[in-house]
Amino acid sequence: RRYIYNFHYHLIWVTKYRNPTFTSEALVNEMKEILTTVAADNKIVIEHMEVMPDHVHVLISFPPSKAPTSAIKAL
- Map out the domains of the chain with their CATH numbers: 9-74 (3.30.70.1290)
Q: Is the confidence at residue 62, as pLDDT, over 80? A: yes
Q: Is the confidence at residue 1, as pLDDT, over 90? A: no
User: What is the model's pLDDT at position 6?
Assistant: 84
Is there a contact between 49 and 57 (Cβ–Cβ < 8 Å)?
yes
User: What is the model's pLDDT at position 27?
Assistant: 97
Average of per-residue pLDDT across 26-40: 97
